[in-house]
Amino acid sequence: MGASQSSDDERFERFLAGLLRIGVVLSATIVVAGGVIYLGRHHAEAGTEKYAQFVDEPELPLRTLREIFSAVGEVRSRGIIQLGLLVLIATPVARVICSVVGFARQRDFTYVALTLTVLAVLLYSLFLEGP
């Protein structure tokens, strides 16, 4: 492999690292904002008992995009925290999508195919697989 390609790879990796950092900072910011509201409203409630046993059907389920977005719309603090966590989970997915584009620009179609396979597994897990 030639020198130009490895420097292409390097620049590309730097871009991906920046993307990851933005995702983490954005996610942490949303989680902190939701956390401040959450503690402001619920700080005096009992904290551990409700987590001792897994609840399969909670009052406010935050398991799908729709549930999370509607909770955010109602300014539910737990919904905002969950949105931050969703951004965090989406960050590596965004990295993989950018990798597809990156390999396509290098006209490296073997790696475009490999990366699309990884993306398919991620999207299947996020959207299609039943509970």
Partner 1 sequence: MTVLEFTALVLVGSMVAGFLGALTGLGGGVVIVPLLTIFFGVDLRYAVGASLVSVIATSSGAAAAYLREGYSNIRIGMFLEIATTFGALAGALLAGALPADALAVVFGLMLIASAYLSRHRHPKLPADLPPDPIAVRLRLDGVYVDQEGERVYHVRRVPLGFALMFVAGGISGLLGIGSGAFKVLAMDQAMRLPFKVSTTTSNFMIGVTAAASAGVYLRRGWIEPGIALPVMLGVLLGSILGARVLVGARVLLLRLLFALVLLVLGAQMIYHGLWRHF
From residue 50, alpha-carbon distances to 45, 46, 58, 60, 82 in Å are 10, 8, 11, 14, 18
Judged by CB under 8 A, does residue 105 bind partner 1? no
Q: How far apart are CA 94 and CA 119, in angstroms?
A: 9
Label residue 70 exposed, middle or buried (CB < 10 Å: 0-12, 13-18, 19+). Answer: middle
Q: Binding partner 1 by CB under 8 A: which of 4, 33, 53, 101?
A: 53
Phi/psi at 88 (5° precision): -65, -45
What is the total count of residues that contact partner 1 (CB under 8 A)?
A: 70
Judged by CB under 8 A, does residue 106 bind partner 1? no
Least distance between partner 1 and beta carbon 31 (Å): 6
Binding residues vs partner 1 (CB under 8 A): 1, 6, 9-10, 12-14, 16-18, 20-21, 23-24, 27-28, 31-32, 34-35, 38-39, 42-48, 51-56, 58, 61-64, 78-79, 81-82, 85-86, 88-93, 95-96, 99, 110-111, 114-115, 117-118, 121-122, 124-127, 129-131
